[in-house]
Amino acid sequence: MTARLLIVDDSRAMRAYVRGSLRGFVDCEIDEASSGFEALRLLPRTDYKVVITDINMPDINGLELIKFIRASERHRDVPIIIISTHSSKQDQEKALELGASVFLPKPFTPPDIVDVVASLIKEKGGES
């Protein structure tokens, strides 16, 4: 079954890059959110198989988003991929503590993200 994914990043180019990387390799439909708020708006409406998010975003940061997702009924178990540069070790550790599944440092290649997303979807698919 086609998996639904959510990409949260305030950069259009980054969203387009992730989308382009996955297209044709992972059977998925992708929703995009350009801010934490947009993500909050989309999350209660759809069952996402994977959420991909940046940390450094205006207003609502990626960490807050992870906490929100983990506390929600619908997505408490959804795999979360953090895409960010290696700027802050502290933020990276916090993200993993809060329940992010994978930290994928920028820059990553298309096969990198395909591998991670595909393996996460497979894991979840096996469970349900």
Partner 1 sequence: MSKNSQGNKAMKEFLAEAQEFVESLSRNLIEIDKAVKTGEPDPDMVNEVFRGWHTLKGLSSTFGVEPLSLLAHNEESLLDDIRLGRKVFTPHILDSLFESIEEVTKILDIINESGDIKATGYRDNRTKTTPEQSPDSGGAPDYGKDDAESFIDPKSLIDAEVLEVLTEFEEHRLRINLQQGQAIYKMRIGFSLMSIDQELEDIKGRLRPIGEIITYLPSSESNDPDMLDIDILLALHQSWEDLEAALEGVGAGISTLVPGRDTPKAASDTMIPAPPTAEQPSDSSMTGIDSAVASEIESPVISERGLVKKQKEQLLSLRSVSQSVRVDIGKLDHLMNVVGELNIIRNAITKISEEMRSLSEQRELAIELHRVSRGFDRRLAEMQEGILEVRMVPVSQMFDRLSRMTRKMSRGVGKEINLVISGADTEVDKLIIEELSDPVMHIIRNAIDHGIEDAAERRAVGKPEFGTVALTAYQKGNHILIEVEDDGAGIDGEKILEAAVDNGYLSKEAAASLSEREVLNLIFLPGVTTTVKANELSGRGVGMDVVKTNISALSGVVEVQSELGIGTKFTITMPVTLAIIPALLVSVDENTFAVPLNTVAEALTISGADVNKVMGLETFTLRGQTLPLCRMDGFFGRPRHGAIPKSSRLLVASLGQRRLGLVIDELLGQQDVVIKPLGYSLDETRFFAGATDLGDQKLSLVIDTAAVIEEFFASNEDFTQPAAQAE
Where does this chain bind partner 1 (CB under 8 A)? 10-14, 16-17, 19-20, 23-24, 33-34, 36-38, 40-41, 44-45, 55-61, 63-68, 71-72, 84-85, 87-88, 90-91, 94, 97-98, 106-108
CA distances from 34 to 10, 27, 125, 126 (A): 4, 22, 27, 31
Burial 37-55 (b: 16+ CB within 10 A, else e): ebbbebbeeeebbbbbbbb
Q: Which is nearer to partner 1, 41 or 123 (CB)?
A: 41
Q: Which is nearer to partner 1, 37 or 118 (CB)?
A: 37
Q: Which is nearer to partner 1, 106 or 125 (CB)?
A: 106
